[in-house]
Chain A
């Protein structure tokens, strides 16, 4: 173990003494405060904070990712190229220990730098409201919608499989199913998905004077005195003149009404007028939630309107409630970045264990780009989209490749901190397990095996 640490410490020294790290530290320590002061977001205090946390964390993650790739690939390939390995590996150091030491050194360096930068970011976020003049409303908004970590719940979705099948049969009997749909499974799958989407949208639409029921299960707010937040967005069939729609809402355990029994938890009612196609939030006291974690929301399309109101599929309706503190959420977000840096370190050490420096860098950057574009790749080349030969190529080649690489774009630290969404420990653990155990660990093991069995010396004759 001591020899591993000796190699690790030497790796840190290398990065520090070669002034790579100094450049990064100076760059970040200048950029972060400037960003904190210059970024305005949408003009509100919350907007400033959101813009800052988003850009600062993304920049930190990106720069550290590049630093990790460069130093990790450099340290191993350079030791082989400049032949320092000759003197190190002829000492009582097993080759896997040498690789492990290198990896550990890079991870230690990452941990130190990430701790430094994220402490700076956290400090700026916390102290920013004191430097900026803002009224109480903005401070309250900031506290409720930024300095918190809110869990998000999607409403229960009814099972529509039977409806989809029935609709398909009906279309088929009417002879309206386009030819070719039943020829290939992919085309049929796409057709059914389209039917399902239409049915689902119909379920989320309310005509004038109609009512919609949203049901939530497992609502467990951390503090019963806190309010819940209903976050919603309207779409309309016909634009109202002032682009606003009227609505009535009822929130609470509405099963009490149906059974006609005793009302044990309160029900809240409100009337609203909201801009269409914009995300809105309103608060519901947490005592509206039933003991079993059930909460219902009834939406009434007011007769004052003259249009069908639709809640979009993606972000039409969700329930948010405070589940943790901002600090804990920030810490988990930083840990998520750290997990990715560990993966990149393992990747670059793996590449460095058998490739030369420029090739290793190219390889790592390709993987890094792929990890950041996995969603885009799936959307662009997915068999649903392309079909045919290209779809097959995607299915057999690109898809396994994307699966091998962690999907950095799927969960981003700023995606959680900007809307103050909870990143739960279980989500972090899940991401950590899949990134570290399933992806980084095999790479690390592979690099140790390769480095153990490869010829270190170049043939010189």
Chain B
């Protein structure tokens, strides 16, 4: 099987100039990302995600081991012309306008002028920056910079897209758009390596994930496999009346079946925190932050400590949250208390309703093929142009891009 990304015992050891303070950032990493898959690289801060990506792209030299991108060396122009990369922050030339930025990157790919022009306009349109195309990037907000960063990663219609924290700094709508875009790109045969610690993002779009801690893979596999409890059955229904619940409880009690009735919650979060907790309990070395301080107690604290927790939150966040928000925040981080999802979804709905007309948030689907993003979120014609596929209507009069 051909892999889009393959690493062999990739290791990175950092030391200071005198060779002291040795830190193993990435430890004997063997990673395989298949072609045409959305692969999520997860991990807490300092777990080696970004270091891995930097090694993949040749920005850091591995201490040991080796990596192959698209079966070649990433510093080889023949390989790098097929790769798109969005770093963890949009490192852009502040003095260039959005349009000049995309032209500059287009020229680095030696694309024909006509193609550069066409793709620049299409990308600006897609990321919603057409109106500010002549403004200097230095004046952009973080979200806008993120969007232009994404646009530069797509300028060459890459076969392999490496996205480091693509949704940081983006509002929920922007996040949604990027997720839809990733799914759509995957549907068009692209391979995407997504590096994030925003678990919801990863869960929504990834086929497979690997969780890094201390530079080692702690768990790897298909999202559906990793999250499925094969010894349990989950029945999800519309909201039941107390009488009905009592009836069901009676049936289960008669059958002597252990059960738990609750509202569904985000499961990856539990899984992720468990993985990290397990690793910490085993005293695995990590160069990143170790959550053992007051904050972590605050996160995993018991319900009777809620008052003090709220006081801390009030200190951290200037605006006092509504009762509902505070509850949501508390429950989200407690794997045992399972009642957070409704509040969370409400928030998302309210946010999306503000900007987009669609009242219902799209169901989150893990199979890319089934996703039908709304037309106002991802302009499909533009995507067609960008990924080299022409719609039937415009195939005759589309200039330039000929790799359809």
Interface residue ranges, A against B (CB under 8 Å): 2-3, 5-7, 10, 13-14, 17-18, 82-94, 455-457, 459-461
A2 CA to B50 CA, complexed, in Å: 30
Pick the residue among B54, B57, B104, B152 that contacts A6 (CB under 8 A).
B104
Known: A18-B95, A90-B74. A2 touches B85 (CB 8 A): no
In chain B, positions 91-105 with a C-beta closer than 8 Å to chain A are: 91-93, 95-96, 100, 104-105
- Most A CB contacts (10 A, CB to CB) among B48, B50, B75, B152 go to B75
Please tell me if the beta carbons of A457 and B85 are within 8 angstroms of each other in the complex. no
Flag whether B14 is at the interface (Cβ < 8 A). yes
Please tell me if the beta carbons of A87 and B80 are within 8 angstroms of each other in the complex. no
CB nearest to B155 among chain A residues: A91
CB nearest to A10 among chain B residues: B104
CB nearest to B90 among chain A residues: A87
Interface residue ranges, B against A (CB under 8 Å): 14, 23, 25, 46, 48, 50-51, 54, 57-61, 74-75, 77-78, 80-81, 83, 85, 87, 89, 91-93, 95-96, 100, 104-105, 107-110, 136, 149, 152, 156, 287-288
Pick the residue among B54, B78, B91, B107 that contacts A84 (CB under 8 A).
B91
Pick the residue among B60, B96, B110, B149 that contacts A13 (CB under 8 A).
B96
Please tell me if the beta carbons of A87 and B95 are within 8 angstroms of each other in the complex. no
State the Cβ distance, B114 to closest chain A Cβ, in Å.
Answer: 14
Pick the residue among B74, B78, B91, B108 that contacts A93 (CB under 8 A).
B108
A7 CA to B80 CA, complexed, in Å: 17
Please tell me if the beta carbons of B25 and A83 are within 8 angstroms of each other in the complex. no
Please tell me if the beta carbons of B107 and A3 are within 8 angstroms of each other in the complex. yes
Q: Which residues does chain A contribute within 8 Å of B61, judged by CB atoms?
A: 455
Q: Which residues does chain B contribute within 8 Å of A2, judged by CB atoms?
A: 107, 110
A459 CA to B54 CA, complexed, in Å: 10
Please tell me if the beta carbons of A92 and B87 are within 8 angstroms of each other in the complex. no
Known: A455-B61, A456-B59. A93 touches B95 (CB 8 A): no
Provide 24 A-B residue pairs closer than 8 Å at the C-beta atoms, listed in order of the A residue: A3-B107, A6-B104, A6-B108, A10-B93, A10-B104, A13-B95, A83-B91, A85-B59, A86-B85, A86-B87, A89-B58, A89-B59, A90-B57, A90-B85, A91-B105, A91-B108, A92-B81, A92-B108, A93-B77, A94-B75, A457-B59, A457-B60, A459-B25, A459-B60
A89 CA to B59 CA, complexed, in Å: 8
Q: Which residues does chain B contribute within 8 Å of A5, judged by CB atoms?
A: 107
Known: A10-B104, A92-B110, A94-B77. A459 touches B152 (CB 8 A): no
Please tell me if the beta carbons of B110 and A3 are within 8 angstroms of each other in the complex. yes
A83 CA to B75 CA, complexed, in Å: 17
State the Cβ distance, A355 to closest chain B Cβ, in Å.
Answer: 14
Q: Which residues does chain A contribute within 8 Å of B83, judged by CB atoms?
A: 90
- Most A CB contacts (10 A, CB to CB) among B93, B96, B288 go to B93
